[in-house]
Structure 1
Amino acid sequence: MAEPAKLRIVDPEIPETADLNTLLTHVARGDEAALGQLYDLMGPAVFGLARRIIRDPSRAEEVTQEVFVQVWQSATRFDASRGSARSWLLTLAHRRTVDAVRHDQAASNRERKYDWTGGPDYDVVEETVTLGLEHEQVRRCLDGLTDIQREAIVLAYYQGHTYSEVAEMLGANQATVKTRMRDGLIRLRDCMGVES
């Protein structure tokens, strides 16, 4: 299938064989037709340069469009005594393309630095404060036990010893250790306000 013909407005004041310098002069005066002709002549070169640097065709198209918007806005800055129009256009294209790569890289770096996990499912500060308060309450309640009760509970619950190991360490029989621990746990429960 043949490609549809492109509609192009041709300014009668600009000859078909106009050079790029002449076209840029007309663009600087606000001539949209001259910009169209300039795009037809230089668009492929600008896109090709952007495409070689960026590699992503759609991003290269965006950069090409940005370059010609910049040409429209800054054509008055072109100075033919400092270089050719082609060089000026390709320099704009190169700078714009490098800026796009830097921008995209910075955005990618920000994305990688951001923690997308959403963080914990709970309030860490609240959890830390609550645990600290609970630990303080347990310590205060442990201090309210008799030395014998406290010693048996600490050996069993905090140090992980069995009834028989606690009985051996304290020099008591297992029944006595179980009674001390049961009485101490009841007092701890009452102190902590836990309902049975």
Structure 2
Amino acid sequence: MYVFDYEACLQACARGDQRALRQLYEQDSSRLLGVALRIARDKSLAEDIVHDAFIKIWRGAGSFDPSRGSARGWVFSVTRHLALNVVRNHYREVPLGEEHEQVAATETFEFSARAGQVHTCLEQLDPARRTCILHAYVDGYSHSEIARKLDTPLGTVKAWIKRSLAALRECMA
């Protein structure tokens, strides 16, 4: 009986072995599509999620830590978290009808002014805290991914983000 070695596959991906990524795709793409489909409930969106998950797996294979769990679990976790983030962000979008088109020009000016204010407020944050905020809200990293990336304790990252958001809210008021 053949047993697929996920850990060796991720190590090979981390070394840039494209064949390993292809093998992983052949091994689990249909199951990962099932995971994404259960969460997204839309086939084309689920396919996009799986595509993005494989890119993230390819780029992040070197960050897999076998002491924190199985390689297969990590692959499925990457896909699941990506699907949840896509769905969460999708529900945040507010479709606008024709009645909102006239307001759009005025709001565009206000948005541009607020964007400049956001930039100014971000610049006032400590660089490490600003980096945490940008990783969380621009790059879409989880708190634990940010902690690993910055080699900073998870609790510290969470506290920085919480305090930085409070400082940004105060600055924007």
| Deviation of the 1:18 alpha carbon | 4.5
Residue 116 (structure 1) aligns with = 98
The match for 2:11 is 25
Segments of structure 1 that go 5 or more residues without pairing to the other structure are 1-15, 121-196
Q: Distance in 1 between matches of 2:77 and 2:3?
A: 23
Does residue 90 of the first structure (1) align with residue 76 of the second (2)? yes
Partner of 1:173: none
Q: Which runs of 5+ in 2 are unaligned?
A: 104-173
Following the alignment from structure 1 to structure 2, what is the Cα–Cα distance between the partners of residues 25 and 119? 54
Aligned residue for 1:105?
Answer: 91
Per the alignment, residue 59 of structure 1 pairs with: 45
TM-score when normalising by structure 1: 0.48
Counterparts of 1:100 and 1:53, CA distance in 2: 9
- Greater Rg over alpha carbons, structure: 1
Task: Name the counterpart of 1:153.
Answer: none
Report the alpha carbon displacement of residue 86 of structure 1 after superposing the two structures with TM: 1.1
Q: Which residue of 1 aligns with 2:62?
A: 76
Using the TM superposition, give the Cα deviation of residue 60 of structure 1 relative to its aligned residue in structure 2, in angstroms.
0.1
Q: Percent identity?
A: 34
Partner of 1:142 in structure 2?
none
Separation (CA, whole Å) in 2 of partners of 1:29 and 1:44: 25
Query: How big is the alpha-carbon RMSD for the aligned residues of Structure 1 and Structure 2?
Result: 1.8
Name 2:21's counterpart in structure 1. Answer: 35
Matched positions, count: 101
Give the distance between the partners of 2:102 and 2:62, measured in 1 at CA.
53
Q: CA deviation at 1:17?
A: 5.2
Inter-partner Cα distance in structure 2 for 1:53 and 1:88: 17
In the alignment, which residue of structure 1 is the partner of 2:35? 49
* 2:16 partner SS: coil
Provide, for residues 7-42 of structure 1, a one-character-per-residue CA deviation record: whole Å limited to 9, x for no partner: xxxxxxxxx855111111100100000000011112
Measured against aligned partners, the alpha-carbon deviations of 1:155-193 in whole angstroms (never above 9, x if no partner) come to xxxxxxxxxxxxxxxxxxxxxxxxxxxxxxxxxxxxxxx
CA–CA separation in structure 1 for the residues paired with 2:46 and 2:57: 16
